[in-house]
Chain A
Amino acid sequence: MSNHDDDDTHTDEAEALPEPEGASEIIETDYEVGQDNITPQIGPFGLDIHNPVFAISGLVVVAFVIITLAFQNQVGPILTDLRGFLTSSFDWFFLMAGNLFVLVCLGILVSPLGRVRIGGVDATPDYSYAGWFAMLFAAGMGIGLMFFGVLEPVYYFGTPWGDQPLMRDIGIVDGVLVDPAAVEAARLTAMAATIYHWGLHPWAIYAVVALSLALFAYNKGLPLTVRSIFYPIFGERIWGWPGHVIDILAVFATLFGLATSLGLGAQQATAGIGFVFGIDGINDTVTASVILIFIITGMALISVLRGLDGGVKLLSEINMGLALLLLGFVLLVGPTLTLVTQFLGNLGAYFGEIINLSNPIGREDDGYRQGWTAFYWAWWISWSPFVGMFIARVSRGRTVREFLTCVLLIPTLVSAIWMTVFGGTAIDQLINTVTESSVYGYVIAAYVPELSLFGMLSELPLAAITSTIAIILVIVFFVTSSDSGSLVIDTITAGGKINAPVSQRIFWVIFEGLVAAALLIGGGLAALQAASVSTGLPFAIVLVLACYALIKGLLSEPRG
């Protein structure tokens, strides 16, 4: 490494963390962005793609789809078992890795490294706080909050796990909750356990990836692609096969993560549409879901053609507005005072339980620790190349401290607020009407997760309007994911170039829609989602290495 802007002023060697001069410390490498790219002409379309990452990624995805469709009965159980094996055998590793990411992020946040500016000392932010936050939230967990906001708190509150963290049973006797103290304890545990899954840990995973990518691209001058993070570890070898494998794995995880979520999400959204508009049997065939996939893909296509500003950013802001509207509505017409007073208690419970929940040793709550936490961690980690890369793309110009505050602390707070309002309202309904409540019917008596949110909304005023807003929110979140995912895959498969021809982005949007539709029609969505989540383990290992690379990279940067 050498100083890019060296102006002959000396560096104070005595300083504990010596800073280089100049805007940022560019890594000198002989590799030039796009040097392995080829520019074939396919019909009227000119391409600019990395050889071999583009071709192998595409072929691997197609091969997996064909094999899964052809040998569904054999491949499905293998992939699902693989995911189960990884999350149950390596739960300790996932939990420890998650803890490491949180500690690294918090450590950087409070250290002088927080003053480093992404893009160099002179860089200015590309986006306003509102636009930036809307985009990172939409990419990070928008859909998840919609889907799990009611489901997870109620599930933890009302399901006698037997092996739940605090071994509590809320005790329903003849349709009545008989022990208020047990109910309150179960509620707090449920909220703490839920916020744990949507709080510091997932955002720390995203933050490590995003910050590393941003640092090595914007400050160090390496291509904006996942392999660049590992330059301090692998050196020039990263431009060869070790780097190809990392990038291909990132594309695989992103594309299958998105396509399977889109397929499963379309089924859930159509279930919601059927529920809200009283269309029975909408999910008896896959027709409605496939149509919805095409609608979402079509909207994503328009969004892609409008670019970051006119597409993803605009949609993210619209969604942020709608989500706030829905949140405000539920807060106002729900048990407002109860929710407001519970919020600090929930946060307190989260911080009170975080050590117990994140400790992988000596626990007996396999159902929660392996079935939920390790699964979630694998899931977040498998999504991290996509979300991290997207967050990196839009975060240039922010200081590391600003970045970690807005990617780690504020989202945790927002998740806690969301869970308090949605989960809290649902639990309140459950406490008041117990077995009569809709959420009891959809989460506890039967497990119909896709209707849990609509069940909660159905017991509030204006349910038809709020449920319609919820469906629109889910659909638009999918559009933004599809758009931003295509942007990310395109950048990786173009060797880090962000000015590759637009036809490539269009290809990935359509490809993702087709994979989702094929898997929906032919079967295998759950199996390939399991395969996608399974990439969480190798990525967890590379992310641990990324922490080292990140700190090493930050140490050599000027600090504002």
Chain B
Amino acid sequence: MYRKVIFPVDLTHVDHLTKALQTALDLAIHYKAEICFVGVTGTAPSPVAHTPQEYERKLQAFAQEQGAAHGLKSSATACISPDPTIDTDKTLLGAIEDLGGDLVVMQTHAPKALDYIWAGHGDTIAARSKASVFLVRAHS
């Protein structure tokens, strides 16, 4: 049913993504789909990488590691954004479309009042992406 599962990943908080990541991997295994890890990085140095190129290498390594561990076809796409604070959603939406992803699995926080003013990344992707979107709550 699904050919390409997109998993937006923030390498800074990869330890906190266990539940969402497992969901994405399980779905990819079940549907024999490719899993594509998409990360949005700023142009400036971050805690994860000194340069966007270094970020891309780390993301590739993460994707390969996950693919090898679960016997999946995996890939990675690093998107560079000059202003990730604002443009992450737009960049992710563009990447999902460009990559031809048909299922997006991503972590999201439990609903809170501020979401009415600023939707979380998951909310926006679910509202605007043409792909199916599976939002996984960080804490059940």
Report A's interface with B, CB cutoff 8 A: 4, 23-24, 26, 32-35, 44-45, 119-120, 122, 126-127, 217-218, 220-224, 305-311, 393-394, 396, 491, 496-502, 505
Contact = CB atoms under 8 A, between A and B. Distances in A.
9 contacts: A24-B51, A32-B47, A126-B82, A223-B45, A306-B86, A307-B86, A308-B86, A393-B44, A496-B44
Given A44-B113, A120-B53, A33 B83 contact: no
A224 B86 contact: no
Interface string B46-88: 1100110110000000000000000000000000101111111
Q: Which of A35, A220, A396 has the most CB of B within 10 A?
A: A396
A122 B44 contact: no
Contact of B82 (A24, A122, A393): A393
Contacts of A306: 86
Q: Which of A32, A45, A500 has the most CB of B within 10 A?
A: A32
Q: Which of B50, B53, B114 has the most CB of A within 10 A?
A: B50
A-side interface mostly: loop
A147 B13 CA distance: 48
A334 B85 CA distance: 46
Given A217-B45, A499-B46, A305 B86 contact: yes
B47 A33 contact: yes
Given A120-B53, A122-B53, A221 B87 contact: no
Given A308-B87, A393-B44, 10 more contacts: A23-B53, A32-B47, A44-B114, A221-B54, A224-B45, A309-B82, A496-B45, A498-B44, A498-B85, A499-B42
B108 interface: no
A499 B81 CA distance: 10
A33 B44 CA distance: 10
A122 B54 CA distance: 12
Q: How large is the interface on B (under 10, 10 to 19, 20 to 34, 35 or more residues)?
A: 20 to 34
A24 B50 CA distance: 11
A505 B80 CA distance: 21
Contacts of A221: 45, 50-51, 54
- The 6 residue pairs across chains A and B that have the minimum distance between CB atoms: A221-B50, A307-B86, A308-B83, A224-B44, A44-B114, A499-B84
A33 B82 contact: no
Given A44-B114, A120-B53, A502-B118, A34 B47 contact: yes
A23 B82 contact: no
Contacts of A222: 45
Nearest to B83: A308
A100 to B, nearest CB: 28
B53 A307 contact: no
Interface in B70-112: 80, 82-88, 112
B45 A394 contact: no
Contact of B85 (A26, A224, A500): A500
B23 interface: no
A54 B86 CA distance: 21
Contacts of B82: 126-127, 308-309, 393-394, 396
B21 to A, nearest CB: 21
Contact of A309 (B44, B46, B83, B114): B83
A218 B46 contact: no
B53 A396 contact: no
A501 B84 CA distance: 10
A329 B76 CA distance: 52
B129 interface: no
A307 B50 contact: no
Contacts of A396: 43, 82
